[in-house]
Chain A
Amino acid sequence: MAGFVAFLIRRVANAFVTIVLMIFLVFILVHVVAPTPIDMAKLVSPNPRASMQDLENIARDHGFYEPIYIQFVHYVEQVLTGNLGTDLQQGVPEVDLIAQYLPISFEMVLAGSILAVLVGLYTGAVSASNRGGATDYAVKGLYLVTWAAPIFVVAVIVQLVFAFWLKLLPASGIANPLLATPTRVTGFPLLDGIIAGDWAYSWSVVQHMILPALTLGLASFGVVTRLTRATMVDALDKDYVKLAYMKGLPKRKVVYGTALRNAMIPIVTLIALIFGTAVGGAVVIEELFNYRGLGYFAVASVYNLNYVAILAITIVLGISVIVANFIADVLYGVIDPRVRLS
């Protein structure tokens, strides 16, 4: 157990250092683009036509005349205390905007990623245990096509089929705009709807979530399938799998209980990465489904040249990837006794 605690402490330290380094990289990027205090002031000035005097004031207020290392320390301090600047368009703290948009994306992306992981694990395991057979080739064809199709094509086809031809589900928005939004408690639309006991709204949220989540799932399950198949094929060749067969265990138990359990060890990292990067990757989906989450906000910020917002989103999503990786490391320890006990 002591070994596992030391392992955890090391991972936490690693994650923290990585976060600081990432902030450093963003800091450098900004300073390369805007080398002088006045350039920096232009980036954060809400008024694109601010006078020189205004810019100098802004630069002084933000401490852009300080030595660079002090600026960096301040910047890290600000980011880690949750100060990501003030939005250029809306004039409110960026953290508040992200807190507003992130839960919306998170709900949809979570559904899509879970779909991708479940389908990926299942198809990967099935094709590995039938390798060289018809099922294997069918799965391979399926995941190659869905993985290789650009996500915007998948989205457009999903909309066409389910929303316009079959008229099963809505193709845009987060919920029926005619319904009143329940009071904000958690920021997650579905959760808030349930808390308020507003079933009509909750049901509408679910309906609106299905198509974007399905698109995300379709576009990303292939990566899971591919890795699952490869690690499963290797695991199925191992002597412990033959031993499991020798004990007289049925194939299903050998494939899922023995081989998949071992193959999961590298797959866990990928799964964590999928969850970690899903919000950032859903930008196109949110754009096409008019799903006003963080990705939608990111694209809007690009069109508005809203630098503060873009940097804030970059940092938040970067931290979420690092945290996801940290969780993967811990899960590693949980799944693999060799990591946990030595």
Chain B
Amino acid sequence: MLLQVEDLHVTYDTVYGTLNALNGVNLSIEEGETVALVGESGSGKSTLGLSIVRLLPPNGRYSKGSIVLNGKNVVSLSGSEVRRMRGTDVFMVFQDPLNTLNPVKRVSTQVLEALAVRAKKENKAFDQREGISEAIEKFKDVRLPDPEVLIHRYPHQLSGGQIQRVVIAIGLLLKPKLFIADEPTSALDVTIQAQVLKLLNSLKSEYKMSVIFITHDISVAYVIADRFAVLYGGEVSEIGEVSKVVKSPLHPYTKALIESIPKRSRKEGELVAIPGSPPNMLSPPTGCKFHPRCPYVMDVCRTENPPYTEADERTLRCWLYERPPT
């Protein structure tokens, strides 16, 4: 087991009071596996990614639970241990290609910074020229055109797709065991998006990394992931094999999500939206957080949060599948 998140609670202190961003998340990831975290904005999927790399914003707090990554509990690591963990155990790329690279430094400088840290961790001497040629090789791996020219450019001279590739290359140079991608393609054009996804797909088997892919787009997740974890209101509402979850979704929220994907066979104007709005996490609904929007709502849903249940080779939280007490 590479990553084991157990009963994780994360809160944000805001002017409105305490916001419960994650409420008892369980998630485990095997080596070489790709898991997609799917959910609407505010579901806690980005927070989960940031908590794994210890980059919660200053008002964020781990209030309960543990994140064991490669045998270490991330929540209680010291500053220098966190530094050692980042890059080697885990690497994360972020959403906005325009702000992902430092605008005032050349690409080469930013790649070399990463290589210098890696060399220091491995107690090796660091040679700039070797570093550049290693980076150029890696740039070829991620299908960047003209890597010899491009590496000496500034970020604003690169396109969004190129920047995401550079960041992925930096990640690969560090050889992390777990690669977290937070909506790396959502700001890109559709064609570029497809290319980057294809690239990630081929790289993950080539480098034998585990990948957490954070997205609000089920069709993107379907292309890339082995397993799906559907997040709602800071909880995992359903988690299982992609084929299982997509073909026969059990949780009403997953069903709604999958129905909302526009299909070619459907006529225009029949796009299904999930009725209602995501829960306000400052004052979340009682019981199951999805109950105000759920078409199958029962009395018990309004008062009590469902426990984790195993059903049809997956884990989910829904009273519909709770075995009646024997």
Give the interface of A toward B (CB within 8 A). Answer: 131-132, 237-240, 242-251, 258, 261-262, 265, 335-338, 341-342
Contact = CB atoms under 8 A, between A and B. Distances in A.
Given A239-B94, A239-B99, A338-B156, A247 B167 contact: no
6 contacts: A239-B96, A242-B55, A242-B92, A245-B86, A248-B87, A338-B154
A244 B113 CA distance: 9
Contacts of B58: 131-132
B287 interface: no
A132 B79 CA distance: 18
Contacts of A245: 53, 55, 86
B101 interface: yes
Interface in B84-131: 84, 86-88, 91-96, 99-105, 113-114, 117-118, 121
Contacts of B86: 245-248
Given A239-B94, A242-B55, A338-B156, A248 B83 contact: yes
B96 A336 contact: no
B57 interface: yes
Contacts of B59: 132
Contacts of A342: 156
A262 B103 contact: yes
Contacts of A132: 58-59
Interface of B: 53, 55, 57-59, 79, 83-84, 86-88, 91-96, 99-105, 113-114, 117-118, 121, 154, 156-157, 167, 170-171, 174
Contact of A341 (B96, B114, B154, B171): B154
Contacts of A258: 102
Given A131-B58, A338-B154, A338-B156, A246 B91 contact: yes
Contact of B102 (A246, A262, A265): A262
A39 B171 CA distance: 76
Contacts of B88: 248
A67 B88 CA distance: 79
Nearest to B95: A239
A71 to B, nearest CB: 49
A262 B57 CA distance: 19
A243 B181 CA distance: 12
B104 A244 contact: no
Contact of A337 (B104, B113, B170): B104
Contact of B121 (A240, A248, A251): A248
A246 B100 contact: no
Given A246-B53, A248-B121, A240 B170 contact: no
Contacts of A336: 103-104
Given A248-B114, A248-B174, 20 more contacts: A131-B58, A238-B99, A239-B94, A240-B99, A240-B101, A240-B103, A242-B94, A243-B100, A244-B113, A246-B53, A246-B86, A246-B87, A246-B91, A249-B83, A249-B113, A251-B79, A261-B105, A262-B103, A265-B104, A336-B103
Given A245-B86, A246-B86, A261 B104 contact: yes
A251 B167 CA distance: 20
Q: Which of A132, A244, A246 has the most CB of B within 10 A?
A: A246
Nearest to B117: A248
Contacts of B114: 247-248
B229 to A, nearest CB: 22
Nearest to A131: B58
A158 B245 CA distance: 73
Given A244-B102, A342-B156, A237 B57 contact: yes
B154 A337 contact: yes
A337 B100 CA distance: 16
Contacts of A238: 99
A243 B63 CA distance: 25
A249 B92 CA distance: 14
A342 B103 CA distance: 13
Nearest to B170: A247
Given A243-B167, A246-B53, A247-B174, A337 B92 contact: no
B99 A337 contact: no
A230 to B, nearest CB: 15
Given A247-B114, A247-B170, A249-B117, A335 B94 contact: no
A335 B102 CA distance: 12
Contacts of B96: 239
